[in-house]
Amino acid sequence: MNSKQTSSKPKKPLPASFFIVVSYENEEAYYRLKEKAEDTFSQALYESKALPKWTHQFENFLDSPIGRFTRILSLKRRISREELPSLQKECTKFQTSLRKSDESIRILPGYLTPYNLVLASLEEDLHRIYMFHGVFAEIIYTYQGQKWIPESAAWAFFKHPEVLYFFTNLRESYVSSLEKR
């Protein structure tokens, strides 16, 4: 055993790349959300094309239908990981106001790090960790062997090649920006 005691102080992790997944029916509602997100959070960094429809395992029990379209909007602002509940709260406000023009709109905030991709959720489940203010965090992907590996509980949406491709490119851009620091 080493006789020297090493003191390790907790170290704050690097800021994460912030994104939102948006499921919607009405294009106008999506563009209004994009405008609100840019006004509130920061300018958009990347925006996906229309992706496969986001689905929910309990779709029949949801309070509103699920839209036919899904997009991912990455924002320039880097976030502290503990901000996720506050960001979820803002996204819920946006969702509530936009439901007047598109009852199907759903906004799911998350963040990306070099090691994983985390999504906020308001629903408790075995694989989610409670943060605070009714918000849970769920790891969707871990980065292993030069690629994203979806967790077994990840929604089918996150297993589509187009979605993996988007997040792979977002990770490359994010890691590249960290190297320039």
Contact partners, residue 58, CB within 8 Å, separation at least 6: none
Residue 11 within any structural domain of the chain:
no
Q: Which amino acid is at 51?
A: L
User: pLDDT tens for residues 157-167?
Assistant: 999 999 999 99
pLDDT of residue 19: 98
Residue 79 within any structural domain of the chain:
yes
Task: Please state, in angstroms and rounded to a whole number, the distance separating the CA atoms of residues 112 and 180.
Answer: 18
How many CB atoms within 10 Å of residue 39?
9
Q: Which tokens in the block code for residue 147?
A: 């690629």
> Is the distance from CB of 34 to CB of 44 less than 8 angstroms?
yes
Residue 4 within any structural domain of the chain:
no
pLDDT of residue 61: 46
Number of domains in the chain: 1
* Residue 2, CA atoms < 13 Å, CB-side half-sphere: 4
Residue 5 within any structural domain of the chain:
no
Is the predicted pLDDT of residue 44 greater than 50, yes or no?
A: yes
Residue 10 within any structural domain of the chain:
no
Indicate the average pLDDT of the chain: 90
Residue 8 within any structural domain of the chain:
no
User: pLDDT tens for residues 115-140?
Assistant: 999 999 988 888 899 999 999 999 99
Is the predicted pLDDT of residue 170 greater than 50, yes or no?
A: yes
> Is the distance from CB of 54 to CB of 104 less than 8 angstroms?
no
Residue 41 within any structural domain of the chain:
yes
Termini Cα distance of the chain? 37
pLDDT of residue 181: 72
- Would strands 16-24 and 69-79 be described as parallel, antiparallel, or unpaired? antiparallel
pLDDT of residue 126: 85
Quote the domain boundaries for residue 141: 16-180
